Structure 1
Amino acid sequence: MYRLMIVEDEQAIHRSLRKLVETSGMDIRIEGEAEDGAEALAMLEETAPDIVVTDIRMPEMDGLAFIKAAREAHPRIRFIILTGYERFDYAREALRYGVSEFLLKPVDPDQFLHTLAKLLGELAHGDSRVARQSEWLLRHQQRVKELAERLWAVDTAGAADKIREDLADYRDSAGDDLRMGRWALDLLRAVDGELARRGFGIPKAPSEEELPEREQECPAWALEACRQRIAEIKGSRNFGSRYTMGKAARYIQENCTREDLSLKDVAEWLGMSVPYLSRSFKEEIGVTFVKYLIGVRMDMAARLLRETSVQTTEAAFRVGFSDYVHFSKTFKKHFGLTPSEFRKQLSSR
C-alpha cells in the first residue's frame, strides 16, 4: 500500500483531505500529517511517503522550500500542490522542482481524487518497471558469467546464443527505455570484468566511440567483439599445441591417485571446454584421456609391485582404485597378468 502525507495548516481543508483519502478505496493510506514544511521535513525519514499533498503558503517553512529540501533527499516523492489564485505565481516556481500537479483552493473533491489516482497509476507503473528491470539485471548478471564461460571455452556458437538470449530479455524488460548501445557496451564491460577475474586482461576496454552509429547494429558489434576476444584467448593459450596437452598429461600424472579424477577436472584446470580438450588430447597424445589415465595408473601399480613389498590391495588403493576386483581386471587387461601373477613372475626371475 502506498503512503501519503498531508501538509496543510488550515484544519478544515486538512480534515476534508483526510476523509477523501480514507474513503477513496484506493491503495493508499495516510502515513503523516503536518501543519508546515519544517514539521513535515522532520517527519519524512520516518513516514517515507510516496505522495505528499502540501499547501504553498505556510508558517515556519513554506511549501516551496519544503519541496526543494524533500526532493533533494527523496527524489521519488510525488507532490500535489494546493494553492489559491493569488498565489499561482508560487506554483510556477514549483515546476522547477519537478512538480506538475496543482489544485486550486477550495479543493474540488473529484479533481483531487482524479489527481491522486493519476499519481498512484504512475507510481504503480514505475514500480513495475523498476521490478522488471531489477529482475532482468539479476538474469543479466548470470548470463554475463555464462557468456564469459563460453568465451573462456572458445565456444563461439554458445557465446552467440547467450548474446541473443540476453538481448531478447533486455528488449522485453526495457520497454520505452530501450538503449541498444548502452546494453552492448555494458555487456562487454561486464564480460571483460569476468575474464579479468580469470587472469585474462583485454588490451583495450570498449568505449562509446566504438559503438555503431545505428542502434540496430549494436548486437552484431557486440558479437564481433566477443569473437575477437575468443581469438585473443586462443592466441594467449596457444591452443592445440603439444605444450598445452603436455601440461594436461603432467596434471594427470600428478593427480592420477585421485579416484574421481575426470576429464572435466583437467579441462577446468586448463581453462578450456571438455569437448575441445578431449579432441586435442587425443590428437596430440595419441590416446583418449581414459586410456591415458589407465596407462598411468597401471604403470604406477606395476612399479609399486616391482619395487616395494606393498600388498596388491594396497597398490590398488594407492593408484586410485577402491574396488580391487576392478583393479585386478584392468591390470590383467593391460599387462596380460593379474597383479598377483605379475609379482610371482617377478620373484621367479
Structure 2
Amino acid sequence: MKILIADDEELVQYSLKSMIRELGIANHDIRIACDGVELINALKGFSPDIAFVDIKMPRLNGLEAIKTGRDLSPKTRWIILTSYSSFEYAKEAIDLGAAGYLLKPVSPEELSATIKEVADTNRRELMAANEEFEGKLNGLFHNTISYRQAKLDFFKEVHFLGVIIIFDSPLDEESRLKHQIDFCNQVREFIGEYLFSDLRIALCTLPNGELVTAGAFPAENENGKKNFIRYLRRLKGSDRMFGADLLKVTILETEECDNYTMLVRQFKQAGELSMLRAVLGIGRSLDLEGLIGKSKQPELVKVSKCLAALSIAYRQSNYLEFLKTITLFEEALSFSGWSTVDSVFKAAQLFLKYTVEPSLVVERDKDILSVGLKALAGRLLAEKKKSDGSGDIVNKVKAFVEKNYMHDIGIAQIAYSLGITPNYLSALFHRKSGTTFLRYLTGVRMSRARELLAQPDSRVNRVAREVGYYSSRHFARLFKDHFNLYPSYCKRTSTGTGRV
C-alpha cells in the first residue's frame, strides 16, 4: 500500500510512520510531505492509496492542497488530520471528498481501522476493475466486442505481457481435465494477491481453446510489470500441488507488447511453436524469442513435429498414422544427431512419457526406441475399433460442457485430453452438432443463467460467476444477445417458474 503523510510536525510524521509499520502492512511505501506544496509536488510522481493530510500547514493548507491533489491523484483516499474538532472543518473536508477525519493525537486503533477500511474499499474496487478488464479482453479474443468498445486505455499507455499455459499429463481423460480445472481455480484464488492500481490480470481462453493469462500495466511505471512477473513465478509453481507424475505445466511467454494487436500476434506465434516443447522440455517456462530461435533449426523442428504427431495419433488410437509417424521419426533421428544431444534426449523422453505412454522405456539407441514405439502400434491395432467413434467424441464434449460450464474451459483443453487436435475437434463438433463449440458452451451457460435468475434471492453478478463469467458486464452483453433482453429485466419480471 502506498501511503503519503502530509504534516509540518516531525513528531506527528514519526509517530504515524512508526504506528503504520507496527501494523505490519505488507509492501507499504510511505512518503512524507512537510506542507501543502510538497504534497502537491509528491503527487506528480507518486499516486498514494491513502493520504493523511494535516489541515493547518505552511505555504498551502491541507484543504487547499486536497482541492488540487484530487485531480493529480483521483484514486487517492484522503484522511484529514487535525487538532480542530470544529464541524465546519469536517464538513468542508467531506465536501472535498475526504474519506475520513481523525483528531490528533491519533490512536493506533483509530489508525488501524481507518487504513483497513480504505484498504478494503480499494480492494473491492480493484477486483471489480480487474473483472471488467478480463471480460473485455475475453470479448476481444472471441470478437464479441470491438477494441473501441473495450476501451483498454485505463492507463496512459498500456503495455502487455502474456503466457500460454499448456498441460501435459499421462492420466485418463476425466482425471486430466479435473486437474486442469483445479489448476485454473487455484490460480484464480491467488490472482488478487498481485493486483495493484497499476496492474490488471486476466485468465482467459483463446478461440482455439488455449488457456492464456495476460497482464496490462502502464508503460511508464515498472511496478505493474514487476508485480506481473511475481505472479508468473507463482503460476509456474502451481503444478506442484498435483505431484510430479500427474501433470506438467509448460509456460510459453510473450515479449513485452506495446499494444493489444501485438499481444494477439505473439500469442499466435507462441501457439504455432508450442510443439518445440517436446525437444526443449515440458514443465518449464519457454520465452517466445527462444522459441523463434529454435524454430530456425529445421532438424530440431522436424523431430518436435514427429513427437507431437506421435502423441496425437496415439491418443486418437490411429494405428496407421502412428505407424507412419514412427517411420518419419526414424528418418528425422537419422539426420538430426538427436541421440547425441543429451538435453534433447531427456526432453523427448519426458514428452513421450507424459503424452504417449508412461511405461514406454526410451533408450538412447534409436533402434530400441523404434521397437518400443512399434510395440505400442501393435497395441493400437489390437484395440482398434471398427467405428470411427466421432459421434461418441461429440457426446463426450457435450457431457463435459454440461458438467463443467461454470469453469474456464476451451476446445483445446478438451481436444488435448482426447488426444486430437483442437482444429479437428472444432470442425468435427460443428459438423456433428450444427453449431460451434463456443456457441454451444454459451447456450448452456445462458440457459442455466436464466434458471438461476428466476430464483427469488438471485443477483446478476452472482449468477454471472456461477455460470463461468467473471465480468457481469460481459455476461449481461452475452445474455442480451442470446435472449434479446438484459438479465436485470429477466430478474425483475421472472415468475416462480423462471419464465419471462
Q: Place the TM-score, normalised by the shorter chain, in its bin.
A: 0.3 to 0.5
Question: Relative to total residues, which structure has the larger helix share, 1 or 2?
Answer: 1
Task: Name the TM-score, length of structure 2 as normaliser.
Answer: 0.33
TM-score (norm 1): 0.46
* More relative contact order, 1 or 2 (CA 8 Å, 6+ apart): 2
